[in-house]
Amino acid sequence: MLRWVKTLKMEEFYQAHPTILLITPEQNIRVEIFAGYVANVKDDAWEIALEPDTKFEAWLEAARSRSCFESDMIPAVTDRIVTLSTCSYEFDNARFVLLGIVQ
């Protein structure tokens, strides 16, 4: 798992793999990744109720600006956003957060 997380943080890996496929019993969901960054467990990475739209827009832009890689994807407040995270080891309670747009 550690090697996979390190690889995710690399620009080259993102450029070769900008989408992921979430497979559920009901459907397969394509997700276009737009940001990935290291966060503390107390950060707002997992915020689920951001209103008004301007606050959500600022949250999306902050995520893009923290990203370890550059994406041409610019999420809109009307998009369905998926947040995935896993342990990371830069500091205590670090998490690698991956954000994408459901297609």
The structure's pTM equals 0.85
* Local structure of residue 88 (DSSP, 8 states): -
Running along the chain, 103 residues long, what does each successive block of 10 average in pLDDT?
A: 60 88 96 96 85 88 94 93 92 94 96
Structure tokens that stand for 80 in this block? 């369905």
Which residue type is seen at 81? I
Residue with structure tokens 């370890």?
A: 68
Q: CA angle at residue 69 from 30 to 43, to 5 degrees?
A: 85
pLDDT at 53: 85
pLDDT at 3: 55
pLDDT at 5: 57
Residue 59 C-beta-side C-alpha neighbours within 13 Å? 19
